[in-house]
Amino acid sequence: MDMILTAWCRTAQAFARLTRSFRRAKKQVLETGNGAVFSLGQLLRDRQLKNPLVIVGAGESRTRFKLLKALDDNDIAYNVWEELPPLPTADDGERIALSIQSGGCDCLIALGDAAVLDIAKAAAARSVRRGRSILEMAGWRRVGRRRLPCVIAVPTVGGAGAESLAGAVVADVNGNRFYLEDESLLPPVAISDPDLLVDAPREKIAAEGMDGLCRAVEAFLAAPYGDSGTKNLAAQAVELYLVSLEPCWNSGGTMRERADLLSASRLAGRAASAVGCGYIRSLILAAQTVSGVGLADACAVLLPEMLEKYGSQATDRLALLAVLADLSEEGGRMERAELVIRRIRAMAFRMGLPDRLESVTAGQTTEIADLAAATANPRRVSPVVWSAKELLEQFSGVCGEAKNAAETS
């Protein structure tokens, strides 16, 4: 471990925590429960919003009907953005931002998965930041202090935490992913309606649920020792993911299980907003960008693997997580820490997710490690600080071709 790099990263992280402590946390209005989407009209009236632009993800015909009915029943005029593809990019966000400006929209209602919610947040930021494109706002606190149009986030897949996250993941036309991180990106209003999750595709449930679980675990590891609030949020999220994600993926889940998954998502988003993320999320985004690995696969492999790689640096935190997430209070620190990793691996196995990234080639591992190291340091908080070379050593063992080459030699 490079001591100079470690000192620099920890200093930058301490400064970021200090500056955050002086800023007032942005509050969010939350509506939950079956049928919560029908509170939309009252929410708009309470906030004196009169000209919403509705952004609906592809394949959301049933949920679209419910949301628009909630607006029609309250005699609210609206426009619908009809051009959003299944995988929206920053270019789509740029076009939405132009529509916001030309149409005088005072709010966005985003209905769909995490990608839809994220592109709506990015478009809202772009609509008031005319001198900087969405991709130029990637990074920490580059959105600016201008007041954004109100974003009302209505998730139809529970798990990723986008509805309560002060950030957004946005892709360019080539599939490269960029992370915008700013308090202003937290949606002022979120509606968590379990009934909207009924028709969610299994692959999206797995992807977003595992993504949110990664965010929750990393937030727990990154929280300052005195920040019991963030640790409790993250631990609650982990507990709810482990009891609700698999049944929702398997059979759609009961109303209670869908509600628990939405609760886990909100908690994970709030926890991750407080502390950022570390190497695991950075590696996941890098692997998606470089080799096109699926989100669920990347999370299932990298989350437990990197927790093991952290070794003794993460043992105490994982042991505490086992207690707070109601997994176990018995055994020593090592046993409880290993239990957390086993539970994650076992759930991923039952959901048919892999334990290695077979599609990642040996030639891609260096590029992935370099990209992850560049985005993870110095602001991202992890139990350890690794250089790009050290990160490559830890990461390459989970990749199919790279591992096979190592075993052969």
Strand 52-56 relative to strand 79-81, pairing: parallel
pLDDT at 182: 87
Strand 29-32 relative to strand 107-112, pairing: unpaired
Cite the DSSP H helix spans in 252-324. 255-275, 279-291, 295-310, 312-324
Q: d(Cα 52, Cα 76) in Å, to the nearest integer?
A: 9
The answer to whether 354 and 298 have CB atoms below 8 angstroms apart is no
Structure tokens at 215: 């965010």
The answer to whether 216 and 241 have CB atoms below 8 angstroms apart is yes
Three-class secondary structure of residue 110 per DSSP: strand
Q: d(Cα 391, Cα 387) in Å, to the nearest integer?
A: 6
pLDDT at 406: 42
pLDDT at 403: 47
Three-class secondary structure of residue 56 per DSSP: strand
Any idea what the Cα angle at residue 391 is, between residues 387 and 397, rounded to 5°? 160
- Residue 61's alpha-carbon distances to 65, 66, 90, 196, 215, in angstroms, are 6, 9, 24, 11, 29
Residue-range domains of the chain with CATH: 20-197 (3.40.50.1970), 202-408 (1.20.1090.10)
pLDDT at 150: 94
- Taking each helix axis from N to C end, the angle separating 333-350 and 228-251, rounded to the nearest 10 degrees, works out to 30
pLDDT at 25: 56
What are the pLDDT tens digits along the chain (409 aa)?
A: 567 666 656 666 665 665 555 455 568 899 999 999 999 999 999 999 989 999 999 889 899 999 999 999 999 999 999 889 989 999 999 999 999 998 889 999 999 999 999 999 999 999 988 778 999 998 877 887 778 899 999 999 988 999 999 989 999 998 888 888 888 999 999 999 999 999 899 999 999 999 999 999 999 998 887 788 999 999 999 999 999 999 999 999 999 999 999 999 999 999 998 877 688 988 999 999 999 999 999 999 999 999 999 999 999 999 999 999 999 888 899 999 999 999 999 999 999 999 999 989 888 999 999 988 887 755 566 788 888 888 898 888 888 654 444 444 3
Give the E-state strand segments of 144-231 in sequence order: 150-155, 167-171, 177-181, 189-192
The dihedrals phi and psi of 153, each to the nearest 5 degrees, come to -90, 125
Contact partners, residue 215, CB within 8 Å, separation at least 6:
160, 161, 165, 237, 268, 269, 271, 272, 277, 281
